[in-house]
Structures are given as C-alpha cells and as structure tokens.
Amino acid sequence: MNTNEITYVGSVLYKNVVGQDSQWFWAMVAGLAATIGLYLIYRQFRLQVLATMRTSLAEYTQRWKLIEMLTARKKVCKHYLEGGEKCPNSSETVASFFEEMGLYTEREVLDSAIVWELYGEYIESYWGILAPQIKELRIKEKDVTAYRFFETLYERTVSYNRREGIPSKNTPDQLKTFATEECKSS
C-alpha cells in the first residue's frame, strides 16, 4: 500500500466511525452491545433458576431421608407386603411428598427429567403401591383431584421410561421386590 491508499483508508474509517456518516456504525455497536447484554441477563437468570432448582432438589433429598419419611416408607411397604390394614398416616406422608413434587414439576419449578433421574423408580413403585388407596379416597371423598399431581408425575415417569426403553416396574412381583428392598433399607 502506498501513502495515498493509506490516507484514503484512514479518511474513510474516520468518516464512517467518528465523522458525519458514523450513525450506522454506532447504531450497530449499540445493537450488538444490547444483544450481548440481553444474552448475559438471560444466562444469569437461567443460572439462578438452576441454582434454585438444585437447592429445592437437595431439600427434597433431605426430606426423603428423614427418619419420619423412612418410617412412613417402611410402614407403607410392610403393609403392602402383608396385605393387611392400610396405614393412612404413612400413606399420606409418602403420597403428599410426591404430590408436592408433582405440583412443582407441573409448574416447571423442578425439571421433570432430573426428577425422573433421581426419583423415577420411587415414583413408579409408590404409585403402584398407593394407587388403589388413592382411587378409593377419590371415591370416598368425591374428589377426583386428590393426588392428581402425584398421578401426573407417575404418568410422566412412565413416559420417560418408554422414551428410554425402560420397561414398567409395576407388576405385582416387581412391586413386592421393591417393597422388600425398601423395608430392608429404610
């Protein structure tokens, strides 16, 4: 490049960046800055949502492992295996846990794929164990919405299982195996 070409390039840049024809350039810079800013705000919002979800799931895990919940789970499974009297308080404790989780999953506070990964087997098995009692409660109380979010959570779990090629774990033998394991580990 010779001196005339350099001078020409310099004058064009000056005119288009800081001179009288520079509005387009600064509009483009402002648009780019706004786009980057919006992306960063979105990213921060998404990270906050994930952090809140992680905290919520950690709280669920703590509740799931509390002695009261372990006792309720053991009673529900023991009564299922024995085929004896229902244990309404323990059944309600376990079903309410999943009802709340189902509500938050339905409202997208909790990610359904993560809930499936962490609780899928429990959701499917406890629904299999508690569904007859829940259906009986719906008839008795004339409330078809009782534990509907637990049922929806169960349906989502089954749907995820199908997509992943995982067979249902709701046969009577599988539920008995699950209940036996729960009684041992709880």
Structural domain for 1, as ranges: 1-50
- Please give the model's pTM, rounded to 2 decimal places: 0.74
37 plus 95 within the same structural domain: no
Tens of pLDDT, residue by residue, the chain (186 residues): 667 666 766 677 667 677 677 777 778 888 888 899 888 888 887 778 777 777 778 888 899 999 999 999 999 999 999 986 677 889 999 999 999 999 999 998 899 999 999 999 999 999 999 999 999 999 999 999 999 999 999 999 999 999 999 988 788 899 999 999 999 875
33 plus 82 within the same structural domain: no
Which among 69, 61, 129 has a CA at the least distance from the CA of 101?
61
Give residue 165's region: left, alpha or beta (phi > 0; psi -120 to 50).
Answer: left
92 plus 164 within the same structural domain: yes
Q: How many domains does the chain have?
A: 2
CA–CA separation, 171 vs 176, rounded Å? 9
Would residue 40 count as lying in a domain? yes
Would residue 24 count as lying in a domain? yes
Would residue 57 count as lying in a domain? no
37 plus 129 within the same structural domain: no
Q: Which residue has the tokens 């009684």?
A: 183
83 plus 156 within the same structural domain: yes
109 plus 173 within the same structural domain: yes
**How many CA atoms, within 13 angstroms, populate the side-chain half-sphere of residue 25?**
11
Six-digit token string for 144: 């078809």
Question: Which of the 8 DSSP states describes residue 123?
Answer: H
100 plus 153 within the same structural domain: yes
pLDDT at 55: 79
106 plus 132 within the same structural domain: yes
159 plus 85 within the same structural domain: yes
Contact of 130 with 95, CB cutoff 8 Å:
yes
CA–CA separation, 59 vs 175, rounded Å? 27
CA–CA separation, 21 vs 45, rounded Å? 38
CA–CA separation, 59 vs 88, rounded Å? 24
Give whole-number Cα distances, 76 to 50, 53, 85, 101, 144, in Å.
33, 28, 10, 19, 23
15 plus 107 within the same structural domain: no
Would residue 55 count as lying in a domain? no
pLDDT at 42: 85
Would residue 106 count as lying in a domain? yes
99 plus 172 within the same structural domain: yes
CA–CA separation, 184 vs 168, rounded Å? 22
